[in-house]
Amino acid sequence: MNPEELGEKIVKVIKTIYDPEIPVDIYELGLIYDVFVNEDNNVKVIMTLTTPNCPVADSLPLEVENKIKTLPEVTDAKVELTFDPPWNRALMSEEAKLELGFL
């Protein structure tokens, strides 16, 4: 499986993870900034949280990492948290905005 195909599989897995306070998956919410897959199938995800003092600041990145590692093609996965740029509603997908009544 090439890195691009694996990247698509990873996104599907990420879309099964929901923010506990908002009924939208973290991908559509715009919390995932980037997914990198190298030729050895090592994965790096750069993500943010809705706020730096988010109640799931410790558990959510770990959940993302652990779910990605369940894919048999993945050698290893690391999640890097960033707050630059800070999350805002503009990062949400149209689907998420519609779901939450922002459209």
Closest CA to 91 of 40, 10, 21, 34: 34
pLDDT score of 53: 86
Contact 6, 74 (CB under 8 A): yes
pLDDT score of 56: 86
* Range 3-88 has CATH code 3.30.300.130: yes
Does the model's pTM come out above 0.85? yes
Q: Which residues pair with 37 in a beta bridge?
A: 43
Contact 61, 99 (CB under 8 A): no
From the first residue on, what is the mean pLDDT of each consecutive set of 10 residues in the chain (103 residues)? 92 94 92 95 96 87 97 97 94 93 85
What amino acid is encoded at 30 in this protein? G
The domain spans of the chain are 3-88
Contact 47, 79 (CB under 8 A): yes
Residues 94, 100, 102, 103, Cα dihedral to 10°: 50
Contact 80, 30 (CB under 8 A): no
Contact 78, 65 (CB under 8 A): yes
